Amino acid sequence: MGKVYVFDHPLIQHKLTFIRQKETGTKEFRELVDEVASLMAFEITRDLPLEEIEIDTPVSKAVTKTLAGKKLGIVPILRAGLGMVDGILKLIPAAKVGHVGLYRDPETLQPVEYYVKLPTDVEERDFIVVDPMLATGGSAVEAINSIKKRGAKNIKFMCLVACPEGVDAIKSAHPEVDIYIAALDEKLNEKGYIVPGLGDAGDRLYGTK
């Protein structure tokens, strides 16, 4: 059974406050999302396997630890998920990046898929699907469906702001997926926006409306 982790790190919480504020402009919003994605990547990689190798320091030989070469894949859900990719790659530069393009139909709130491109060795990689928002959960559930259909087996989901409806949707469709959240908000409003949330993540990242 997958677990739900809500990160309570003070730096994540502090930066998230500015991300939420409506006065925060596009440039600062993008920078903060990038920083929070890095901090979350630091936490999410806590259990990566290590192996010992022998090296020479300037002083002596030493047996030290290095990452055991686990293959990772980051899959942003377009478009807003793109805002989190660079922050994660700063910490895990060897990860490959797949893309799943989905938009939420404004009337039905159902996800519509328009693009999928994954690394060719999809079956060998552990994936982190990323999107700033987990609202109804439709987009996340569909993105995970899409990469599973193409062979992905080990999948985590990471977002900035979630609400209980979205968490329940992932848990029921993909019970084995661990979910990593910076903040679990109260609810969805009648338009499918998270309350209090941060507004439309894609619009705030890219200055559209």
- Residues contributing to the annotated binding site: 79, 104, 131-139, 194, 199-201
* Eight-class DSSP state of 81: G
Which region among 10-18, 65-73, 145-153, 190-198 touches ligand URA (by CB under 6 A)? 190-198
**Cα–Cα distance measured from residue 81 to residue 90, given in angstroms and rounded to the nearest whole number:** 16
Which region among 36-44, 61-69, 175-183, 188-196 touches ligand URA (by CB under 6 A)? 188-196
Residue 160 CB, shortest distance to ligand URA, in Å, is: 10
- The residue among 207, 184, 163, 195 whose CA lies nearest residue 30 is 207
- The residue among 188, 144, 142 whose CA lies nearest residue 165 is 188
Q: Where are the alpha helices (DSSP H) in 25-105?
A: 26-44, 85-91
35 binds, among ligand URA, ligand PRP, none (CB under 5 to 8 A by kind): none
Q: Does 194 bind ligand URA (CB under 6 A)?
A: yes
Q: Which residues within the stretch 79-138 sit at the binding site for ligand PRP (CB under 6 A)?
A: 79-80, 103-104, 109, 111, 131-138
Q: Report whether 177 contacts 14 (CB < 8 A).
A: no
The binder of ligand URA chosen from 32, 88, 97, 135 (CB under 6 A) = 135
**Cα–Cα distance measured from residue 123 to residue 191, given in angstroms and rounded to the nearest whole number:** 37
193 binds, among ligand URA, ligand PRP, none (CB under 5 to 8 A by kind): ligand URA
Residues designated as active site: 104, 108, 200, 203
